[in-house]
Amino acid sequence: MNVLAADPQKCALWGVFPEVECWVLTSYMPHELPKAYEPGAIETRWAEYWVQEKLFHVETPQPGDSRPVFTLLLPPPNVTGRLHMGHMLNQTQMDIIVRWHRMRGFVSLWLPGTDHAGIATQMMVERQLLKEGKKRREMGREKFIERVWEWKREYGGAILDQMKRLGASVDWGREYFTMDDNLSHAVKEVFVRLYEDGLIYRGKYIVNWCSDCGTAISDLEVKHEDVPGKLYEIRYPVVGSSEFITVATTRPETMLGDTAVAVNPTDERYLHLHGKQVLLPLMNREIPIIADELAQPEFGTGAVKVTPAHDPNDFEAGLRHNLPQIEVIDEHAKMNGNAGAYAGLDRFAARAKIVEDLSAQGFLVGTKDYTIALGKCDRSGTIVEPRLSTQWFIKIAPLAKRAIDVVDKGYIRFTPENYGQIYLNWMHNIHDWCISRQLWWGHRIPAWYCKNDDCKNVVVAREAPSVCKCGGTKLEQDTDVLDTWFSSGLLPFTTLGWPQATRDLDVFYPNSLMITGFDILFFWVARMIMLGCWFMMPPHKPGSNKAGPDASVGSEDGELRASVPFREVYIHALVRDADRQKMSKTKGNVLDPIQVIEQYGTDATRFTLAAMAAPGTDIAFSESRTAGYRNFANKIWNAARLMFMNVDRIDASLRPTSGQQSPPHKGIVAFDVSTLEDRWILSRFNRAVKDVSESLEAYRFDEAATRIYDFFWGEFCDWYLELIKPRLNFEEGADTTEAKIACRNLINLFEASLRLLHPVMPFITEEIWHAMYDGAPPLRSIALAGYPAADDAQIDLGTETEMAILQDLIVSVRNLRAELKVEPKVKVPVEVFVHEAETRRLFEQNLTAIERLASVERVIFVESSLGNLPGTRGTSRFDVRILYERKVDVAAERERLAKELERIEKEQANGQRQLANEQFLAKAPAKVVEGLKARAEELRVLQEKARAKLKELGENT
């Protein structure tokens, strides 16, 4: 049976009968391959195979195993997530790097998992409940959480299933979820230890409050947006005087909670008012005028209202001056009981009313247009209210110090480099991190409060305490959960078994690399570094001795170096649409990767993302590019068809067998180099391998991809395959020795090229590779084969130069044919004059190639220069002329020549000028000067010829 009949039933069976996989493969009939590559059927088949075979499962290497290790953590997508182009870019890059390492013999662990995503998930389930007419609070915490778990079990794996379709070579056997028992346990452990280290505190501070989500959020979750707003100037009457003091505010509703007016201590305008009271309008409360740096003399009137309960700066000032904190806005963003007549109003309704009342009572001095940097909740878009609230915080400075050190010292390297600086800037200005969230879905804070009124003790513990130190037994756990990023910040070590001293931790930590987008650089990358450098250093490092540095690491600095969560960070760009617009649901320009994949194939889509991933700019994803790379896949496919057709015809036993390649092989298995094209392609292959490896080393996915593309299409297909065809197409009854050699070379070169390409296009390479071995490959997958390593000894500049001359001749003849409009089917005789005997030998040895590729009937070598005869092309090494009676289009030819001559002379003038310049001769490197001289000579010849020809054409008219 033919597997390419794309039989979905068989694929489906796989899940049930994994043992049948060879059944499909051995029946492969390559000569029946369809003309066009059909990625759909092939890709789903292999995607399933890779998962079923547990191909990428990594057993922990035991002591004594000397293989190098490569570890990569998948940035865990939210359980609520659907795969978007950003994921696909991220995963493509990771997969390329991981497959590449694996093929180079690294124990390569790519760890997958999902994030419980506190707010996002809770909101999603709440919305779902709402459709059933249920509300979270009515349901109760326990029931609600059970419901979220249900939802997670049902839908939470969607994004990972999509990943499987992409062929991501992750170890599915190690998949984690951030709320798994072991990870939850580690989260608790971390919290308790930070608390014991004095780095976690609880307190009443101003936090960013999202009234929609009903929770505090961290600074990072607030997105500032410049919007046109108003600046209101309000005058407060000074008690015991007829004076007023005018303050300005963008949020007049907060005035209800004012507890002072501040002026700068140095501001002479207000010296006489220090210590006086003002009467707060609308509220008729007396509040003091204080002298504080908070007020800047240059701004507005130099006097500022102080609302400690609703502004972070005012809060600080309030502490300095012992001011009362009066909250006037509640958790639903409504005015509360302290707001007098405005109680119950929404904050914006209150604002309008207050402005109206102030105006009516003559307190409003003026209203100005003013641009406000409005803070909005990243998740809900609601305007964030700074609000006094009791929360848990992490004291960040000690953590940040280490996180700065490791980057300063180069223990973590960023690519592109400038992100290192961006990271450091941020880290230097970091504030304490509010980690408590008023949600239900997440890791509950391991703190218990004693309900004994006399005690009110807080117990932070790993397990629920049964009794308080006061003897009380009524202890209640904090109802808040932790910020999602708290747990994801621990993943590099908790997924490997921390706090246990595991073998995994020894082997796989630090991770080798982190690949992610800059959008979570601070949210996640920075937190991982801070927490990693804290918990993988003594005394928290498992098995570490509190007394001193770990003996295996040696020094304190060594400890620090070993504590980083990853050695390198690669930051990738954002994927935008073809018009460079950010993809967003509201704009409706979101490209669904799965749809693109279905249309063009996963390999082509991956290739697009790789090829466009140049550093520094975002990726404008254009489908026309993907179509182009789909064509590339098709090209590979057809090259394979050519190969299979010939193998089957010439000698099917030429197919490689499982014994032939004892993996992992780093080059081409065997290669005969008796012809120019063989020596040439071998040289070019090695050069490509070298370039690709260098590019991948530098995370230049774009360079690697285009280099492979150029090699495979431009060199292998366009020239090599064409050149070996005569040998493959032996005549009936003729000796097949040559054909067999050519065929074997083709197979082995193709096989190595597939390995070169595999990390970027895993599916088509796997498919063809298996087919080459006729279903009995030496390994279960090409992914386990060796990655080609360049052999400098096989790079041959002399051969490449010879080939270049030959190509030059062929292209020259093609040019002439096109200019003279020779009918494609007509083979023409050509005259060739060579400047050197070697060139003649080269042409003579490759006559077949010239005749075939340039449609030449025969080559006549002549003894004198063809100079200016019609139908002639010349280079510095040869002249070639096609013998064809059709009249040259004199006008067109003259125009072409004139243009060419102009170009030559322009370049010539440039060169002459430089060569005449003594400073140039003195300062420029010899190589450049020599090159220029050689070129000048070439140009001289070319110019002479062009002139002569032009002259002749002129005379003819």
Partner RNA sequence: GGGCGGUUAGCUCAGCUGGUUAGAGCGCCUGCCUUACAAGCAGGAGGUCGCAGGUUCGAGCCCUGCACUGCCCACCA
770 contacts RNA (rule: CB under 7 A): no
545 contacts RNA (rule: CB under 7 A): no
No. of helices (H) and no. of strands (E), the chain? 32, 29
The footprint of RNA on residues 421-440 (CB under 7 A) is: 421-422, 425-426, 429, 431
Sole window of 49-57, 217-225, 237-245, 357-365 interacting with RNA (rule: CB under 7 A)? 217-225
**Cβ 940 to RNA shortest distance, Å:** 13
957 contacts RNA (rule: CB under 7 A): no
> How many whole angstroms separate alpha carbon 765 and alpha carbon 761?
6
Interacting residue with RNA among 22, 352, 397, 578 (CB under 7 A): 578
Sole window of 9-17, 192-200, 487-495, 574-582 interacting with RNA (rule: CB under 7 A)? 574-582
702 contacts RNA (rule: CB under 7 A): yes
Short-list 126, 136, 65, 70, CA closest to 98: 70
Contact mark string toward RNA, 378..397, x via CB under 7 A: --------------------
Residue number with CB closer to RNA (34 or 954): 34
**Cβ 612 to RNA shortest distance, Å:** 6
Sole window of 300-308, 326-334, 462-470, 555-563 interacting with RNA (rule: CB under 7 A)? 300-308
**Cβ 676 to RNA shortest distance, Å:** 18
The footprint of RNA on residues 456-495 (CB under 7 A) is: none
Residue number with CB closer to RNA (133 or 824): 824
641 contacts RNA (rule: CB under 7 A): yes
> How many whole angstroms separate alpha carbon 82 and alpha carbon 588?
15
674 contacts RNA (rule: CB under 7 A): no
Residue number with CB closer to RNA (537 or 816): 816
**Cβ 617 to RNA shortest distance, Å:** 4
418 contacts RNA (rule: CB under 7 A): yes
User: Among positive and negative, which fits the CA dihedral 842, 846, 852, 855?
Assistant: positive
29 contacts RNA (rule: CB under 7 A): no
DSSP string covering 860-892, please?
Answer: EE-SS--TT-TTEEE-SSEEEEE---SPP-HHH
**Cβ 46 to RNA shortest distance, Å:** 17
Interacting residue with RNA among 197, 911, 944, 947 (CB under 7 A): 911
Distance of CA 164 to the CA centre of its chain: 18
Q: What is the chain's Cα-based Rg? A: 37
**Cβ 419 to RNA shortest distance, Å:** 8
> How many whole angstroms separate alpha carbon 547 and alpha carbon 565?
23
Interacting residue with RNA among 13, 642, 676, 941 (CB under 7 A): 642
DSSP string covering 820-851, please?
Answer: TT--TT--EEEEEEESSHHHHHHHHHTHHHHH
Bond before 539 cis per omega within 30 degrees? yes
> How many whole angstroms separate alpha carbon 817 and alpha carbon 517?
52
Interacting residue with RNA among 145, 213, 291, 294 (CB under 7 A): 294
> How many whole angstroms separate alpha carbon 478 and alpha carbon 497?
27
139 contacts RNA (rule: CB under 7 A): no
924 contacts RNA (rule: CB under 7 A): yes
228 contacts RNA (rule: CB under 7 A): no
Interacting residue with RNA among 175, 346, 432, 722 (CB under 7 A): 722
- Tokens 């996640």, located at residue: 524
Residue number with CB closer to RNA (583 or 594): 583
526 contacts RNA (rule: CB under 7 A): no
> How many whole angstroms separate alpha carbon 232 and alpha carbon 222?
24
> How many whole angstroms separate alpha carbon 24 and alpha carbon 330?
66
Short-list 272, 254, 275, CA closest to 351: 254
**Cβ 49 to RNA shortest distance, Å:** 22
677 contacts RNA (rule: CB under 7 A): no
Interacting residue with RNA among 21, 38, 180, 672 (CB under 7 A): 38
Distance of CA 104 to the CA centre of its chain: 22
627 contacts RNA (rule: CB under 7 A): yes
648 contacts RNA (rule: CB under 7 A): no
Contact mark string toward RNA, 599..618, x via CB under 7 A: -------------x-x-xxx
Query: Which CA distances in Å does 534 have to 193, 400, 503?
Result: 10, 10, 20
**Cβ 437 to RNA shortest distance, Å:** 18
956 contacts RNA (rule: CB under 7 A): no
726 contacts RNA (rule: CB under 7 A): no
Residue number with CB closer to RNA (92 or 494): 92
Which residues, including other chains, have CB under 8 Å from residue 352's CB and lie 6 or more apart?
none
- Tokens 């059927």, located at residue: 41
Which residues, including other chains, have CB under 8 Å from residue 686's CB and lie 6 or more apart?
790, 791, 792, 794, 795
Residue number with CB closer to RNA (461 or 645): 645
> How many whole angstroms separate alpha carbon 341 and alpha carbon 447?
39
Distance of CA 243 to the CA centre of its chain: 62
Sheet containing 385-394: give its strands across.
215-217, 200-210, 385-394, 433-434
622 contacts RNA (rule: CB under 7 A): yes
Quote the tokens at residue 188.
């608790």
Quote the tokens at residue 908.
């010539």
The footprint of RNA on residues 174-213 (CB under 7 A) is: none
Using CB atoms within 10 A of its CB, is residue 192 exposed (0-12), middle (13-18) or buried (19+)? Answer: middle
Query: Which CA distances in Å does 596 have to 89, 604, 622, 840?
Result: 13, 9, 11, 52
Residue number with CB closer to RNA (314 or 330): 314
365 contacts RNA (rule: CB under 7 A): no
The footprint of RNA on residues 824-843 (CB under 7 A) is: 824
Interacting residue with RNA among 213, 460, 932, 946 (CB under 7 A): 932
363 contacts RNA (rule: CB under 7 A): no
Interacting residue with RNA among 639, 705, 850, 946 (CB under 7 A): 639
Phi-psi region for residue 246, left (φ > 0), alpha (ψ -120 to 50) or beta? beta
948 contacts RNA (rule: CB under 7 A): no
289 contacts RNA (rule: CB under 7 A): no
**Cβ 560 to RNA shortest distance, Å:** 26
> How many whole angstroms separate alpha carbon 290 and alpha carbon 276?
8
Interacting residue with RNA among 141, 143, 153, 582 (CB under 7 A): 582
Interacting residue with RNA among 23, 155, 177, 713 (CB under 7 A): 713
Sole window of 147-155, 174-182, 220-228, 751-759 interacting with RNA (rule: CB under 7 A)? 220-228
Sole window of 8-16, 73-81, 295-303, 734-742 interacting with RNA (rule: CB under 7 A)? 295-303
> How many whole angstroms separate alpha carbon 167 and alpha carbon 955?
67
Strands 200-210 and 215-217: antiparallel
Residue number with CB closer to RNA (145 or 304): 304
Q: How many CB atoms lie within 10 A of CB 693?
A: 19
284 contacts RNA (rule: CB under 7 A): no
Residue number with CB closer to RNA (633 or 805): 633
Cα dihedral angle (899, 903, 906, 911), rounded to 10 degrees?
-160
Residue number with CB closer to RNA (298 or 885): 298
Query: Which CA distances in Å does 457 have to 11, 196, 451?
Result: 61, 16, 8
620 contacts RNA (rule: CB under 7 A): yes
Sole window of 245-253, 450-458, 531-539, 749-757 interacting with RNA (rule: CB under 7 A)? 245-253
- Tokens 């502490």, located at residue: 319
Interacting residue with RNA among 204, 223, 401, 474 (CB under 7 A): 223
